[in-house]
Chain A
Amino acid sequence: MTSAEDRPCRTRQQPRGGIAVVDDEPALCEVLTEVLTAEGYPTRAFPSAQACLEAIAAGYRPGLLFVDLHMRGLGGAEFVRRVRALPWGATVPIYIVSGALLEQDSPVLRTVDGVIAKPFRLGDILAAAARHLGEPASQARPTATPA
């Protein structure tokens, strides 16, 4: 992951939505959705950027997005640009999750909260989710109560 640590956590102002996984790799969508949902984060997977944009246009408001770069049709960079152009999307946390070779001077990098390189550890994904959405309900520890 890069750059995420340098950015302020924006989600304190965001409503707590679910997580959107935008990737044209169905198996990856499946495993991420299963793991994140099991951890207590409501998650929706989208097989294309266009499908996610349509859901957003219909009122879907995720609190965090994991977006692949190389996708059929609309690419991840253009998807991020379009989301950022929306009033709602200007500050929503977005992470690029990609196996592509990337360079530091990319414009898209300046508009996302971080990059998670494939192959990744699930811990990286869950850490990003916890950072922006908080600990899921299933993981929340009860506060100490007097006996």
Chain B
Amino acid sequence: MPVRSRLRPVQGRRLLRLRRAAGLPRPWPTAIWLTHALRHHPGVVLVRLAGDAPDGELRDGGAGPDPGGGATGPGPAHAAGRPREGLVDLVADALRNPLAVLQASVEAAERTLDAGAADRGTADRVERHLRRALAQTERLAALVDGLLELARQLEGPGPSPPAPARALAEAVARRLAGLPEVNGS
């Protein structure tokens, strides 16, 4: 079910200003806040994309060369080092955390079954791992819904978002999809 924002972008912009006026250190304090924002206030995220993303964020988080080509693991760009504070970094962290739990839970269930003991304790452990995995799929689905809603707002009727916002959104989408970066236009 698509997630509908109850906030219009202008309200989101006002919220962002309020956060700043309140002296909050970062407009995107945690991945969890981002998850909440994507679910309930995609307009705020839109404002962030449209008006507040500095050029450096776009360069660092989306359109720049992938610094992590040699890293192991299934995810892109993990060569290690400085954590980046941009939206792309937070989205990546927000998505990869439930993915990590999902993968670890399924592997843990597999290991438990491989251990061979078919007792009640084994069944309970496997059930717990699978329940945890299922919870992560729901969490991922909500995140993806939020990102889709964000994309819908960017693509929807009305005036087109500013070019930097579109470029950032495309960079986010490409990175999330694991597609190669596009340099230049």
Contact = CB atoms under 8 A, between A and B. Distances in A.
A113 B34 CA distance: 30
B19 interface: no
- Interface range, B side: 35 or more
Interface stretch (B1-9, B48-56, B77-85, B150-158): B77-85
B96 A106 contact: no
B96 A2 contact: no
Contacts, number: 151
A117 B97 CA distance: 10
Interface stretch (B39-47, B66-74, B141-149, B162-170): B66-74
B95 A99 contact: yes
Contact of B105 (A31, A115, A124): A31
Contacts of B129: 31
Query: 9 nearest interchain CB pairs?
Result: A99-B96, A106-B81, A117-B78, A115-B80, A106-B82, A118-B100, A117-B73, A103-B81, A119-B99
25 contacts: A2-B70, A2-B80, A31-B132, A35-B107, A35-B108, A70-B31, A70-B90, A100-B89, A101-B88, A101-B89, A101-B92, A102-B78, A102-B79, A103-B81, A104-B80, A104-B81, A108-B81, A116-B73, A119-B74, A119-B99, A119-B100, A119-B102, A120-B100, A121-B107, A122-B107
Interface of B: 29-32, 61, 67-68, 70-75, 77-84, 88-90, 92-105, 107-108, 111-112, 125, 129, 132, 135-136
Interface of A: 1-3, 24-25, 27-28, 30-32, 34-35, 38, 69-70, 72, 75-77, 96, 98-109, 114-122, 124
